[in-house]
């Protein structure tokens, strides 16, 4: 890791969770349990993404991410790719797992890749050692509902859970939105558009609650040639959202984190020419602008990311991500960092 000297984050250690040859990993997510254990989900597959053989696996750590137990399979469907949709969440003692399956084909666009898909929800009340049967497919429109935002759900002022998601409309253009649920997540309701513009593809959304109580987010604008990130904010608990503003970041597959001093950190797949990897930027003005602060991981290829933060028992931060796919192989990694802005 090479970070700027004045960045508030410091790398303490990094370990490889999974790295078997001949396989690549993607769509990772992470959650910390009340007893300090960590769970990670990721899809493991062979061949060139998107394949039809991806299996959703789960890894467990009992020591704050220093070592990891062998994986167990959570979800697999023959001739489909099973994905975690960045959807591993916790509400109290219950774990929620938003997961899905997609069938891919030779594709020229995101709409072609996700031609056949479905999203489901599994629950666990024993720390992820067993999961419920999948219910009926979830969604507001036909197709994949990707509950992407690693920083959500966020508790609203009236006690509901507020989750970020991306989904395609009838014309196969993706847009960013939110929905509300209760803790049991028995019903998804109140779909609210965060960013939707004809001709643009909005995906990879993440939201956090800013130090002043406002909601702030970053969304991937996956439209050539810029492939950049945009910012949004809501001052009324997500009922309405600002128009997206362009950030000085060419990136994708990102995760936000509010640090102890109120600054906001973002890790993201870097798309700047000549700088492939997982990069870090810091905002000190509430998410209006971000300053590049170095790289968490320098990569040999462009297809990497799916970062997710976790609070560790010793007060440090965990960061899970997947390395770049090179010759059909990639690793699932865990980094432990210290927030130096803690007083």
pLDDT at residue 187 tops 90: no
Quick: pLDDT tens for 75-114.
988 888 888 877 788 888 889 898 888 876 544 445 555 5
| pLDDT at position 16 | 96
Higher-scoring residue by pLDDT: 300, 8: 8
Calpha distance 322→195 (Å, rounded): 27
Domain boundaries, the chain: 2-339
Taking 80 as the threshold, does the pLDDT of residue 297 lie above it? yes
At 114-148, the pLDDT tens digits run 567 788 889 999 999 999 988 888 877 766 788 87
Region 243-252 average pLDDT: 94
Whole-Å CA distances, 51 to 46, 280, 301: 7, 29, 18
Domain 2-339 has CATH 2.120.10.10: yes
- Specify burial of residue 173 (Cβ count, 10 A radius: 0-12, 13-18, 19+): middle
| Percentage of the residues of the chain whose pLDDT score is greater than 70 | 94
Q: With bands split at pLDDT 50, 70 and 90, how would you rate the model's confidence at 42?
A: very high
- Range 61-74 average pLDDT: 96
Backbone angles phi, psi at 112, to 5 degrees: -70, -40
Per-residue confidence (pLDDT) for residue 50, from 0 to 100: 66
DSSP string, 173-195: -EEEEEEEE-TT----EEEEEEE
- Quote the pLDDT of residue 58: 97
Q: Are 60 and 38 in contact (CB under 8 A)?
A: yes
State the pLDDT at residue 164: 92
How far is residue 47's CA from residue 327's CA, in Å, rounded to a whole number?
9
DSSP H or E stretch at residue 113: helix 110-113
Contacts (Cβ under 8 Å, ≥6 apart) of 335: 1, 11, 13, 14, 296, 318, 319, 320, 321
Is 153 in contact with 182 (CB distance < 8 Å)?
A: no
Most confident residue range from 180-184, 287-291, 328-332: 287-291
Structural contact between residues 232 and 195, judged by C-beta atoms closer than 8 angstroms: yes
pLDDT at position 65: 95
Q: What is the DSSP letter of 301?
A: S
> How far apart are alpha carbons 3 and 30 in whole angstroms?
23
pLDDT score for 107: 47
pLDDT at residue 127 in the model: 95
Q: Taking 60 as the threshold, does the pLDDT of residue 275 lie above it? A: yes
């Amino acid at each position: 890791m090479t970070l700027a000297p004045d960045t508030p984050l410091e790398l303490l250690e990094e370990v490889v969770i999974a790295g078997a040859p001949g396989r690549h990993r993607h769509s990772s997510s992470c959650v910390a349990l009340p007893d300090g254990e960590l769970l990670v989900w990721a899809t493991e597959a062979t061949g060139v993404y998107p394949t039809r053989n991806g299996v959703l696996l789960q890894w467990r750590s009992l020591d704050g991410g220093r070592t990891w137990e062998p994986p167990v399979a959570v979800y697999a469907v023959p001739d489909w790719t099973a994905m975690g949709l960045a959807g591993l969440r916790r509400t109290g003692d219950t774990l929620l797992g938003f997961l899905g399956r997609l069938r891919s084909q030779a594709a020229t666009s995101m709409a072609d890749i996700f031609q056949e898909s479905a999203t489901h929800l599994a629950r666990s009340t024993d720390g992820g050692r067993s999961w419920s049967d999948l219910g009926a497919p979830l969604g507001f429109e036909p197709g994949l509902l990707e509950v992407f935002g690693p920083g959500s759900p966020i508790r609203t002022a009236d006690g509901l859970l507020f989750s970020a998601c991306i989904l395609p409309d009838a014309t196969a253009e993706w847009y960013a939105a939110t929905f509300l649920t209760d803790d049991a997540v028995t019903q998804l309701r109140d779909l609210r558009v965060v960013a939707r513009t004809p001709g643009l593809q909005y995906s990879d959304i993440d939201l956090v609650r800013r130090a002043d109580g406002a909601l702030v987010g970053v969304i991937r604008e996956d439209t050539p040639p810029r492939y950049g990130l945009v910012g949004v904010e809501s001052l009324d608990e997500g009922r309405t959202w600002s128009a997206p503003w362009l950030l000085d970041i060419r990136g994708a597959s990102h995760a936000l984190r509010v640090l102890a001093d109120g600054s906001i950190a973002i890790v993201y797949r870097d798309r700047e020419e000549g700088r492939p990897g997982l990069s870090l930027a810091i905002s000190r003005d509430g998410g209006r602008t971000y300053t590049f602060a170095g790289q968490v991981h320098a990569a040999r290829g462009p297809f990497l990311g799916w970062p997710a933060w976790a609070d560790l028992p010793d007060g440090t931060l965990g960061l899970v991500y997947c390395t770049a796919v090179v010759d059909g192989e990639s690793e699932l990694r865990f980094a432990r960092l210290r927030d130096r802005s803690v007083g």
